[in-house]
Amino acid sequence: KAGVTQTPRYLIKTRGQQVTLSCSPISGHRSVSWYQQTPGQGLQFLFEYFSETQRNKGNFPGRFSGRQFSNSRSEMNVSTLELGDSALYLCASSLEGISNIQYFGAGTRLSVL
């Protein structure tokens, strides 16, 4: 069974640009969550999508948004990039809901110059 797939693995953008990250969950998993991880920080929860609906949201500005498609694939978008948005963005999928075991992808490393 394929794991969680995130694309791209690495991305370099400049301030003010926008970026879209993609996540394909494990087959059969309906919940997809996104996290931001910066050096020295833990996993900062961005949001969770379940059956195409945002079900939980962290404390991030509105520049961070996401969506989920009918096949459970999810995208995360960050608009008007800032230097502080440089981070590893992790996607995790779980079978039913966020309180179930989450399986992580390898992440997308975003560098904002």
Partner 1 sequence: GQQLNQSPQSMFIQEGEDVSMNCTSSSIFNTWLWYKQDPGEGPVLLIALYKAGELTSNGRLTAQFGITRKDSFLNISASIPSDVGIYFCAGGSPRVNDKIIFGKGTRLHILP
Q: Which residues bind partner 1 (CB under 8 A)?
A: 4, 6, 33, 41-43, 45, 48, 50, 55-56, 88, 90, 92, 97-107, 109
Nearer residue to partner 1 within complex by CB, 34 or 112: 34
Nearer residue to partner 1 within complex by CB, 48 or 85: 48
Burial label for 109, CB within 10 Å (0-12, 13-18, 19+), is middle
Q: Residue 113 in contact with residue 17, Cβ under 8 Å?
A: no
Nearer residue to partner 1 within complex by CB, 79 or 95: 95
Contacts of 2 (CB under 8 A, 6+ apart): 26, 27
- Which residues, in sequence order, are bridge partners of residue 68? 74
Nearer residue to partner 1 within complex by CB, 60 or 104: 104
* 3-state secondary structure (DSSP) of residue 17: coil
Dist CA 86 CA 93 (whole Å): 23
Shortest CB 16 distance to partner 1, Å:
27
Shortest CB 58 distance to partner 1, Å:
8
